[in-house]
Chain A
Amino acid sequence: MNRRIFVKTSGLALFGTGAIPGWLARAAEGQKTRKKVLVTIFQRGAMDGLHAVVPYGDPRYKPLRPTLAITDSLNLDGFFGLHPALAPLKPIWDAKQLAIIEAVGSPDPTRSHFDAQDYMESGTPGLKATRDGWLNRALPADAASPVRAVAVGPDLPRMLRGKQPAVALNSVREFQVRDAMAAREFESSFASSSMADLSRETFEAVRILKSLPAADSKVTYPASRLGQSLKEIARLIKADVGLEVAFADMGGWDTHVNEAPRLAQLLGEFGGALAAFWQDLGDRLDDVAVVTMSEFGRTAKENGSRGTDHGHANVMFAFGGGIQGGRIHGKWPGLAPENLHERRDLAVTTDFRTVLSPLVSSHLGNHAANVFPGFTPEPFTLFGAAASQPTNGARRE
């Protein structure tokens, strides 16, 4: 942490609590405590994974997609190719940093957006009673920074709700009560209300973010919502305010009708935003892992409206934090009718929690068993130098 911020914020924190919080003291020790950060991106509405990462090497692909098949994908490994609108991701792949996980999804068969998102965010597929989100459970219980967990947007997503304080913000600039006197009044009146915890966490976060240095990014982010969200997250990471997990989302993926032009636009926004983030963080990516997800995939076969209906398995992207990139992870089940889930959707061969578990354990250093209760992840080499003999390399029929 930058010393100037420390002095400013600690002064204010003393004013509020009368003692230096533990996280601030640790942060003040310097570079050693620089936090690992996990950034999760949710593509709401169920992205058509077969359109984003094209299995052009699968002989069944083209017949299933008579009007939608992509013929000019950017080759990745002789079997899969990126949709041309995802070209901004290609340099990350070429730098052997972008990992693509195929045929990943939830063991729960629901095709309800709401339920599937709920399960992917609670981390407990099939179990509706879970109150908190897995990304919140992934935070160790200690007196950490008030801005250790941040979601960009007007809502706090299910994934980040739970015991550990988590902040939703539209932007760092907007995150304040503009009238200072009113702010003090609110802070004291809300402290004795049923919203006391929320209020305390909010005002602590306001104090930290007020002292943030001006944004100094040299990278131009796309104007899209995801682009602007990732720009805010990058700013928080670079300012070393104690961020540990961050969340951003992007909607519009529910493409039942005439999906090709719509997806070209969405994938362009998605790829452009991720690429800007990658460029902006540079070396900081050693500490930062990014992972994307969407609630389920879409039908392997296109529907009657040049779109696709709700399906099953999908594709995830991940980079940073020592993730093994430049390769396709997971087992490809194939698109032959007998290999499809219920003879219509790409089958799930990797549970999404198998991908997230090493991010929680190897990267954040928490126990994945606490985060995904009752789940035992299969062996999965997302990290490390085991690239010579992958146990989970894409196998094809």
Chain B
Amino acid sequence: MSRRITISLAFLGCAFAASDPFSKKLSHDLQIAHALNRLSFGARPGDAEAVKKLGLKKWIHRQLHPGTLAENPQLEEKLASLKTINLSASEMAAAYPPPQVIKAMAEGKLALPDEPEQREHLAALVTLYKRRQNGSNEKLTPAQRKSLLLNPPPGQTVAGELVEAKLYRATYSERQLQEVLADFWFNHFNVYVDKGADRYLTTSYERDAIRPHVLGKFRDLLHATATHPAMLFYLDNWQSTIVAKGKAKGLNENYARELMELHTLGVDGGYTQQDVVEVARCFTGWTIRPASGTRGRAGLYGGEFFYNPRLHDNGEKTVLGVRIPAGGGQKDGEQVLDILVHHPSTASFLARKLATRFVADDPPAALVERMASKFRGTDGDLTKVMALMFESKEFWSEGAYQSKMKSPLELVVSAVRATGADLERPLALANLLKTMGQPLYRKQEPTGYSNNGEDWTNSASLLARMNFAVALEENKAPGVRTAKSAAVNLRAPEFQKR
């Protein structure tokens, strides 16, 4: 290359860098605000000072290692009031029986529980069921009526407390990055709480399959979701079997396709329809064992993962060019997960998605490539990938600062945090999020909600956000009590951004 060209190229490079907002360093005094906007659900009064005192680097390090952070006692108190969030799926199904169990009890196929208070309540639900279903005239006793008034329907309690816990944690937790990531990864491996048994399985799904791994190895996270009954039910894999024979009904492609399109490779990640079929064959027999003592569909509500070799297609398969020999049994599915985790497309797809959430709607390709390379080099260590992103020049650039439109969840929680308000009835806020287009745990499609801020800008959303800001300032927002006015202007256009 001639010298003249080299010089002009270097000059071009400089000119490009100067105009590229991701190359312009964010001024020092904005860095703390930026970090709080991205690693947390927004600053509370006093947060910026606390980060300054501790040092920004140290604060980020602690957020990346949430075990080092003492949890907020206010949060622990709030969570202690929720009865279902620590139950296993089968305990929950027993204590808060789903409609199928009520039906079985009404039909005399299942006995009422012995514990008197529970027995009263279930007897009332059974009576109601009979009146609705068979037009029976059976009357409720006064005690039963009281029990119905005091206790919401079981399924409503379960899903309601799940939503409450999420909003409590987002608002109060000291481990803010962990909460942001729990939201990110749940959304990545989305399930829909209103689909049948997922009403009862989602609590354990988020708690046991998602949360423990958000700063761990991606392989563990993927495996935890692949084997959780909530995912097996949501994407129908529990029904997918070797080609119809006897009790076996045949293949269902739903999970196999979304596993590659949404969870790992990305839609352009290089798989074919034939790969979808082969992957589905590998996962045949990955199903749900119903809770003991139950029968029929009711058992799924408290079910757990179970590999059923009789439903598995044990023939040879070829997935993304890799031959999986016959007779692999449950190992077939595990091998697919390995192939997918180590496929170069997966690293790029996940890196880009994380950078879209944390850096910018259209993140710089160079950053995405460095993150993907870190993912490949560390066997998918998510803490290391996050740390690289938080040390990158792109993250600390003018291009990133205030560039993201907040999602409804981010907007609402950041406003509550900014005012230091007390969350009294989180379900009222959840209702508001529904009208803003983001009902929690209720994205029906497996894609999850968009991480692209642009997608949340529209007139209906803008008006809802404005109405919320006014209501919160005047202490009229439903479910929230504000003690003092916010240090920041909730009505300012900038507050819509992070």
Interface assignment of A114: CB less than 8 Å from any CB of chain B:
yes
Q: Which residue of A lies closest to B459 (CB)?
A: A202
Query: Is A397 in the interface zone, CB < 8 Å from B?
Result: no
Which of B67-75, B124-132, B253-261, B421-429 interfaces with chain A?
B253-261
Known: A174-B435, A189-B491. A309 touches B252 (CB 8 A): yes
Q: Which residue of A lies closest to B455 (CB)?
A: A155
Interface residues of A (CB under 8 A from B): 44-45, 109-115, 153-156, 167-170, 174-179, 182-183, 185-186, 189-190, 193-195, 198-199, 201-202, 205-206, 251-252, 254, 256-257, 303-307, 309-310, 342
Do A195 and B467 touch across chains, with their CB atoms under 8 A apart?
Answer: no
Partner of A303, one of B250, B464, B492: B250
A44–B254 CB distance below 8 A? no
Min CB distance A307 to B, Å, is 7
Q: Which 6 A-B pairs have the closest CB atoms?
A: A304-B250, A154-B437, A193-B493, A156-B458, A304-B249, A202-B459
For the A-B complex with A110-B267, A252-B444 known, give 20 more contacts whose Cβ atoms are closer than 8 Å.
Answer: A111-B273, A154-B435, A155-B460, A156-B457, A156-B460, A168-B458, A170-B460, A175-B463, A179-B467, A182-B491, A183-B466, A198-B457, A205-B459, A256-B235, A303-B253, A304-B243, A304-B251, A309-B253, A309-B254, A310-B253
In the complex, the chain B residue whose C-beta lies closest to that of A204 is B459
Pick from A45, A115, A169, A190: contact of B460, CB below 8 A.
Answer: A169
Q: Are A304 and B244 within 8 A (Cβ)?
A: yes
Given contacts A110-B267, A307-B252, contact A168 B459 (CB under 8 A): yes
Q: How far is the CA of A109 from the CA of B274 in the complex (A)?
A: 13
Cβ B461 vs Cβ A256 within 8 A = no
Assess whether B251 is in contact with A153, with CB atoms less than 8 Å apart.
no
Q: Chain A residue with minimal CB distance to B244? A: A304
Assess the B459–A169 pair: CB atoms within 8 A.
yes
Residue ID in chain B nearest A191 by CB atoms? B493
Residue of B nearest to A187 (CB): B466
A199 touching B460, Cβ below 8 Å: no
Q: Looking at the assembled complex, report how far the CB atom of A147 sits from the nearest CB atom of chain B, in whole angstroms.
A: 10
B18 within 8 A of A: no
Q: Mark B222-247, 1 if CB is under 8 A from A, else 0.
A: 00000000000001100111011000
With A256-B254, A257-B252, A342-B273 as known contacts, state yes or no: A305 contacts B240, CB within 8 Å.
yes
Quick one: closest A residue to B473, CB to CB? A182
| A155, closest chain B residue (CB) | B437
Write the nearest CB–CB distance from A98 to chain B, whole angstroms.
Answer: 28
> Is A115 a contact partner of B267 (Cβ separation < 8 A)?
yes
In the complex, A303 Cα to B236 Cα: how many Å?
11
A44 to B443, CA, bound (A): 13
CA distance A359 to B262 in the complex (A): 34
Residues in B whose Cβ lies below 8 Å from that of A155: 437, 455, 458, 460-461
B positions within 8 Å CB-CB of A: 235-236, 239-241, 243-244, 248-254, 257, 261-262, 267, 273, 276, 435-437, 444-447, 455, 457-464, 466-467, 470, 491-494, 496-497
With known contacts A113-B445, A182-B466, A304-B244, A189–B459 Cβ distance under 8 A = no
Which A residues lie within 8 Å of B236 (CB)?
256-257, 305, 307
The 24 listed contacts between A and B (C-beta, < 8 Å) are: A109-B273, A111-B257, A112-B261, A112-B267, A113-B445, A113-B446, A114-B267, A153-B437, A167-B458, A167-B459, A168-B460, A169-B460, A170-B435, A174-B460, A185-B491, A198-B462, A251-B444, A256-B254, A304-B240, A304-B243, A305-B239, A305-B252, A306-B249, A307-B252
Please state if A303 and B251 are interface contacts (CB–CB under 8 Å). Answer: yes
CB distance from B117 to the nearest CB of A (A): 35
Q: By the criterion CB–CB under 8 Å, are A175 and B460 in contact?
A: yes
Complex alpha-carbon distance, A154 and B437, angstroms: 5
Q: Which residues from B are CB-within-8-Å of A167? A: 458-460
In the complex formed, the residue of A with least CB distance to B261 is A112
A residues in contact with B276, CB < 8 Å:
111
B353 to chain A, nearest CB (A): 13
CB contacts (< 8 Å) of B457 on chain A: these are 156, 195, 198
Q: Are the C-beta atoms of A177 and B437 separated by less than 8 Å?
A: no
In the complex, what residue of chain A is closest to B408 when comparing beta carbons? Answer: A154
